[in-house]
């Protein structure tokens, strides 16, 4: 299928937004997965961690709404790109595309109210709605945010499989493990924080304190989790693995 230039431009603009979304979600996920507690570094870096996660979470919601849920007639969204393209498809291509998009659209529809309300009432504006005499509650977990982002990627790729005949890399090259086998810039920042942890050398420097911590972790069933995090970064310092 030969694409008009305006469709190509729309495709490129939306793919650029998806790249930003994927990068934003990736950074937030790294904040969540980092062993702040296990390395005892949250106290020093709590503002960095909290602000980075909060800003990326909110920005991801804004991008998601911009990509899919915005109903302003002048706004470019993935559904509007689909509607432009579908006019030029054969009956068979339309059927295939609709079949692929149907389960994706069902998932995205289930989050429409939440995404719109968060963006419009909490993140872009400060509105305090009251429902049944109580402040309105908003609920969107990070796992759900990741799910919505994943569905938007699938939506774009479903269109691409039918129309664009090309594979789009929807993440910066530095964050794509196909091209970068090392650490990303953000992972390097987190590694620097990890290597500052006093607990990495605590066993050698303050054995009594270390033994007390091991006893506490053993009692609460978290010894394995703590040792995995500590040993991971001890290895980077060429320190001997700790076993208990």
In tens digits, the chain (244 residues) has pLDDT values of 667 888 889 999 999 999 999 999 999 999 999 999 999 999 999 999 999 999 999 999 999 999 999 998 889 999 999 999 998 888 998 999 999 999 999 999 999 999 998 888 887 777 776 666 766 677 899 999 999 999 999 999 998 877 776 667 898 888 888 888 899 999 999 999 999 999 999 999 999 999 999 999 999 999 999 999 999 999 999 999 999 8
pLDDT of residue 173: 86
Alpha carbon distance 154, 69 (integer Å): 16
pLDDT of residue 129: 67
* Domain extents in the chain: 5-175, 198-244
pLDDT of residue 50: 96
pLDDT of residue 130: 64
Beta-carbon contacts of residue 97 (< 8 Å; ≥ 6 apart): 82, 86, 89, 158, 159, 162
Residues recorded for the chain: 244
pLDDT of residue 132: 61
Alpha carbon distance 149, 237 (integer Å): 37
pLDDT of residue 40: 97
Determine the straight-line distance between the first and last CA of the chain, rounded to whole angstroms. 64
What pTM value is reported for the model? 0.89
């Amino acid at each position: 299928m030969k694409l008009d230039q305006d469709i190509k431009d729309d495709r490129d603009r939306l793919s650029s937004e998806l790249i930003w979304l994927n990068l934003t979600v990736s950074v937030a996920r790294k904040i969540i997965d980092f062993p702040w507690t296990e390395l005892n570094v949250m106290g020093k870096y709590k503002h960095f961690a909290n602000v980075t996660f909060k800003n990326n979470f909110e920005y991801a919601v804004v991008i998601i709404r911009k990509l899919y849920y915005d109903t302003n007639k002048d706004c470019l969204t993935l559904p509007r790109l689909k509607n432009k393209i579908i006019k030029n498809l054969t009956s068979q291509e339309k059927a295939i595309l609709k079949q692929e998009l149907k389960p994706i659209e069902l998932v995205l529809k289930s989050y429409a109210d939440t995404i719109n309300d968060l963006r419009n009432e909490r993140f872009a504006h400060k509105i305090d709605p009251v429902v049944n005499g109580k402040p309105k509650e908003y609920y969107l977990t990070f796992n759900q945010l990741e799910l919505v982002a994943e569905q938007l990627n699938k939506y774009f790729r479903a269109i691409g499989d039918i129309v664009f005949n090309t594979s789009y890399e929807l993440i910066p090259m530095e964050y794509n493990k196909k091209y970068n086998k090392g650490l990303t810039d953000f992972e390097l920042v987190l590694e620097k924080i990890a290597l500052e942890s006093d607990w990495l050398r605590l066993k050698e420097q303050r054995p009594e304190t270390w033994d007390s911590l091991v006893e506490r972790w053993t009692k609460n069933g978290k010894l394995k989790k703590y040792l995995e995090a500590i040993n991971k970064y001890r290895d980077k310092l060429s320190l001997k693995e700790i076993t208990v």
